[in-house]
Structure 1
Amino acid sequence: EITMDTRALRPLGLLLLCPNVLCTDHLQAVPLFGKPLVETGQLVPMPEGMEVLRSQKEPFAIVSAVGPTRTGKSSILGRAFLRGANENAFEIGGGVISHTAGVWILPEPITLQTPRGKLNVLLVDTE
């Protein structure tokens, strides 16, 4: 079971383009939840994504992009928080068909340098 201690949460403003990202190795998103079941509409937890959450040893924040299909959610996450080859950690298509199905998470947090110190952030992309 995953729990969250909300007592330590404080508002933290992040610039849309984060120059203080501490980059990591090449990242490729893994599924956190599969597409919703047609019968119930419920999301299906995926083992790879659940393991990402369970494996975190330090406190972390989640930054997610949510919105209508084909509006650039994957692109904006990559451009705002990732650098180099990692900008395409979330699969991006050039056509009218959405490439993101379900909910995806980066396999390890990125680290932002803030006035309060380092902040681990897990990026989450949605369909």
Structure 2
Amino acid sequence: MKKIHFLQLIRVPNSENMMKRLWGSFAILALIVAVASGCSGDPPPENAGKTAAELNVTTDKADLKARLEEMAESGVKGSGMAGMGESIERLRASDPALADELTTLLAQLEAANSESQVKSTARQMADKL
């Protein structure tokens, strides 16, 4: 039969464990304060005074241009084509003429068979943005 020591029967708080718990609690509290202090809710200065629609159009243009420039560099359509028509349609509200031009070029880009055609058409579209 195994002998059991008296201290094994009762739980005596270990000062090392208490220190670990204290530092862990402090770390969690510091993290909460750091996260909460970054939530001011004020828009960045460059977005001040702009409506949500204006911000979305700007984001759509920047996203569309980035995807087109990538295609113009690589010559590969790939996943960059996904949602491009929808992005152009969202631009229609702010600039219908640009959206018409981009829609025409998008049809050419979709029909492009060679790498050079993809590069050329994607570059034309990116330059318009």
TM-score normalised to the size of structure 1? Answer: 0.27
* Bigger RCO (CA 8 Å, 6+ sep): 1
Structure with the bigger percentage of helix = 2
Instruction: Report the structure, 1 or 2, having the larger strand content.
Output: 1
TM superposition score normalised by structure 2: 0.27
